Chain A
């Protein structure tokens, strides 16, 4: 039996590890970098991070408003501007901004990168409905049982990401300086 992966970025084993991990590893593996990081003024570093987060938030909100107005994903070039700030973006931050803008769906987050899904225009929902009707007619309805149907159906929005909020406190999605390390 194959064992499930533990990482959130499952199934993409050839992808590099998350940006947060890269920064963290550099600090340990490269002696000179580690020295520089140790000598850096924490106040200055914190201010730089705050400035970068502010810039990232401004870009994100512009992208999100464009997404809501045009009902289509923003241009890739504009999204890539946001990716330059992936080292300061974590899941919790992105979802907080998303809620501020008022988007309930369509925002994807992975390894610091934010993406916007295609807007589900008609006949998106109709195709889902007909698929479910056809399946239920053949494999569920002939065996009526409200408590234990033969199959359980999950009608999702392909862009639904609310479940990830449950994991926003997971250490794997924290920024490096927010991770608690042993010792």
Chain B
């Protein structure tokens, strides 16, 4: 398996990632702005997914801030955490979609890798009991779609002209993720 992403500060990779093909695009005026990953010499993916199983949400948030920091060229971060508890009806989850602040000023030398702060498109918040949302609780239909502008999947290059054109945004229905957790978290024999 080929490595695609060298996470800043740790020898680990995201669980999934996508990169425009080709990258850099020789026909794009922004191609010379494409950075290569340290050691690997490959361009950064523009969108990454990280999944945590009972992994602390603060840890994923820390990763998110580094992925979208100035030491990478990852533009979009999708994080999902499933926290399995003793009983299924108390299982909780967290999800976040964030993107790079592409208008942030260039950092001076020595700036921490978390700069610039990411821009949050959507993030599940703790409930009144200071706990993450229960995974059995459906997401209202009018709040379940988190949209990522397509331009961020290509930045700093332009959106290529293809036929048909790319959609204006990458739409993530977080209810689908919730239902996936609900359906797949149980051992097979409990599905009967």
Given the interface contacts A10-B9, A122-B184, A134-B176, does A156 sit within 8 Å of B1 by beta carbon? yes
What is the minimal beta-carbon distance from A52 to any residue of chain B, in angstroms?
23
Does B85 reach chain A (CB closer than 8 Å)?
Answer: no
What is the minimal beta-carbon distance from B90 to any residue of chain A, in angstroms?
16
Total interface residues on A, CB under 8 Å, equals 55
Q: Give A154's nearest chain B residue, CB to CB.
A: B4
A123 and B181 within 8 A (CB): yes
- Contact string, A119-148, partner B, CB cutoff 8 A, digits 1/0? 111111011101110110011001100001
**Bound Cα distance from A9 to B52, whole angstroms:** 22
**Bound Cα distance from A135 to B106, whole angstroms:** 30
Does B125 reach chain A (CB closer than 8 Å)?
Answer: no
Interface SS of chain A: loop
A130 and B162 within 8 A (CB): no
Query: Which stretch of A27-35, A76-84, A160-168 is in the interface?
Result: A160-168
Does A70 reach chain B (CB closer than 8 Å)?
Answer: no
> Which B residues lie at the A interface, using CB under 8 A?
1-22, 32-33, 35-39, 45, 47, 49-55, 66, 69-72, 78, 80, 82, 84, 106, 110-113, 150, 153, 160, 162, 164, 166-167, 170-173, 176-177, 180-181, 183-185
> Which A residues lie at the B interface, using CB under 8 A?
1-2, 4-15, 108-110, 117-124, 126-128, 130-132, 134-135, 138-139, 142-143, 148-164, 167
